């Protein structure tokens, strides 16, 4: 019996020390896993807080950026619009009456593409009227629409 005890005691000690090492390693792994989970939870919390803050700020910033881009695109488009203007005088001879009129023709362009046909406007001239001065004051197109290059904003939309 004594011999059996000397044979089983080292085996029992080896198994017990193996179990003890396994339990110690298992508890160490659980501690490391708990620390990793804690770090992961902190990171997720920080990420969620940043995401919620970004979600509250992003729509307004995105809207502002879109509005700025739209305004810039409209200003670029409007700066490409221009009006070509030509004029001449026309005389209508009727029996004893000689009637003189100024014919003003205008056409709107986008770059070099005509957007409208020639729009004709006839103005009766008095005897002492200066045709060049009348041409400067008269236009078929609204000045506020075509003067975007001066930094003014359009007040009326083109129909």
Same domain? 96 vs 44: no
The total of structural domains in the chain comes to: 2
Query: Would you say residue 155 lies in a domain?
Result: no
**For the CA atoms of 30, 35, 41, 44, what is the dihedral angle to 10 degrees?**
-120
Same domain? 2 vs 67: yes
Contact 94, 69 (CB under 8 A): no
Same domain? 57 vs 119: no
102 φ, ψ (degrees, to nearest 5): -100, 125
135 contacts: CB under 8 Å, gap ≥ 6:
85, 87, 102, 104
pLDDT band of residue 56 (cuts 50, 70, 90) is confident
pLDDT digits (tens, 9 = 90+) for 123-158: 887 766 666 666 666 665 655 544 444 444 444 444
Weakest-pLDDT range from 19-23, 42-46, 80-84, 127-131: 127-131
Same domain? 74 vs 94: no
Q: What is the pLDDT of residue 128?
A: 63
Range of the domain at 17: 1-79
SS3 90: strand
Mean pLDDT of the region 2-28: 93
Contact 148, 81 (CB under 8 A): yes
């Amino acid at each position: 019996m004594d011999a059996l005890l000397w044979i089983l005691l080292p085996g029992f000690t080896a198994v017990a020390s193996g179990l003890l090492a396994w339990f110690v390693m298992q508890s160490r792994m659980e501690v490391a896993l708990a620390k990793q989970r804690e770090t992961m939870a902190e990171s997720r919390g920080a990420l969620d807080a940043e995401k919620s803050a970004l979600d509250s700020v992003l729509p307004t910033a995105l809207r502002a950026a879109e509005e700025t881009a739209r305004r810039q695109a409209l200003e670029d488009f409007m700066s490409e619009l221009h009006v070509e203007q030509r004029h001449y005088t026309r005389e209508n001879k009727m029996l004893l009456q000689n009637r003189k009129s100024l014919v003003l023709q205008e056409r709107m362009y986008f770059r070099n593409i005509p957007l409208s046909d020639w729009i004709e406007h006839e103005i009766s001239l008095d005897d002492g009227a200066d045709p060049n001065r009348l041409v400067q004051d008269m236009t078929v197109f609204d000045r506020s629409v075509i003067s975007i290059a001066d930094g003014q904003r359009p007040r009326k939309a083109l129909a």
